Amino acid sequence: MNKFSWYEATSKVEAQREANSTVSETIQPDADPEAAVFKASGIDLLDLMKEGLSKPAKLVSIRNIPGMDEVSYNKEKGLRLGANVTLAGITANPQIKKNYLALHQAASHAATPPIRNMATLAGNLVQRTHCWYFRSKELVCFRKGSSTCFAHVGENENHAIMSYGYCVSIHSSSLAIALTAFDAIVEITDKNGKIKLVPMKEFFVLPSVDRTRETILKPAELITAVILPEPKTHTVSYYIKMGSRRSQDWPMAEVAVVAGLSGEKCKTANVVLGAAAPVPFISKAAIDAITGKTINETTATAAGEAAMQIAVPLSKNGYKIPVFKTIIKRAILSLGKPPENVIDWALPDRIH
């Protein structure tokens, strides 16, 4: 890692006064050599710095700002998760498990147990893509300022199958998949202390809009919380991550489904796919396939088929299509069942 100075902020104001850049800016060729960026747990930031991709001059720790790891509930506003709540904290929260099962599942299947003890909610949202060309210091890819996307003609088995432009990277945050499905809202405090409420589906930026960053965050803007709206009655959810291994590993495909049920009938639905596109992908086709219908094997299968209609796989990731069809079907059929009665596909119960 490059040498850097360290600032332990004790308030948001103090942190925002010190920070002058974003991690994404430090990866660009025109990065400010004096860049000061926020660090919470810093799992992704330290990874980028150890690779030599990001070389900030100063890290501003926001980890110990009082109140930023609080969870509060208000019947009108819903559940407010402080930006510094850890993934383990989300997993252990009984209210999240009861009312927002898909978020509980996404958090409990991300990374590894010690990382979940460290990594924060906001850090998970703003981590950069894990495209191996982007993550390699030797290669200056399209996202890092050149005119070449190496994944297009290279090793693209983990890359996007839909909604990509020239850059075919996929989005890294599993929590964002579940949070998008719940219509969560990102609470951002801007440099002047003003609070902006941004719907999760507007928080991420496609590379075709701006290839240098993945979120709308500007320098010194701080995510202070994520707000989950109060679930309507009979709202159920489910999340499935499919990786090439059952423990750790990034998803090759993941899906979060949130639905409002009336008996067996699906009144409202939201289906969001991860590891499919450069941002969390809301599958309108899958939503239409189950909305107003009875949930059964036929409609669940139809939703998976419909979702993959628009997929345009790259040379090596066509395998993702049947995987997505299967997990979309399984997630829809698992809706509303108590978690102990459904198979947890990601638990490592067959390691040996």
Residues that bind other proteins (CB under 8 A): 1-8, 41-43, 46-47, 50, 57-59, 61, 63-64, 111-115, 117-118, 246-248, 347-349, 351-352
What's the min distance (Å) between Cβ of 256 and other proteins?
A: 21
d(CA 246, CA 150) in angstroms, rounded, equals: 28
What's the min distance (Å) between Cβ of 49 and other proteins?
A: 8
Nearer to other proteins, 7 or 163 (CB): 7
d(CA 181, CA 269) in angstroms, rounded, equals: 9
Nearer to other proteins, 4 or 267 (CB): 4
What's the min distance (Å) between Cβ of 13 and other proteins?
A: 12
d(CA 290, CA 270) in angstroms, rounded, equals: 10
What's the min distance (Å) between Cβ of 64 and other proteins?
A: 7
Block residue for tokens 């509930």? 73
Nearer to other proteins, 115 or 140 (CB): 115
What's the min distance (Å) between Cβ of 10 and other proteins?
A: 9
Nearer to other proteins, 72 or 112 (CB): 112
Block residue for tokens 């299509």? 321
Nearer to other proteins, 64 or 95 (CB): 64
Task: Using CB atoms within 10 Å of the CB of residue 202, give its burial: 0 to 12 exposed, 13 to 18 middle, 19+ buried.
Answer: exposed
d(CA 213, CA 219) in angstroms, rounded, equals: 12
**In this structure, are residues 345 and 330 in contact, taking their beta carbons and an 8 Å threshold?**
yes
d(CA 141, CA 152) in angstroms, rounded, equals: 11
d(CA 125, CA 80) in angstroms, rounded, equals: 15
What's the min distance (Å) between Cβ of 292 and other proteins?
A: 38
Residue 162 has, within 13 A of its CA and on its CB side, a CA count of 20
d(CA 109, CA 331) in angstroms, rounded, equals: 15
Nearer to other proteins, 63 or 316 (CB): 63
Q: Per this entry, what is the length of the chain?
A: 352
What's the min distance (Å) between Cβ of 343 and other proteins?
A: 13
Nearer to other proteins, 164 or 345 (CB): 345
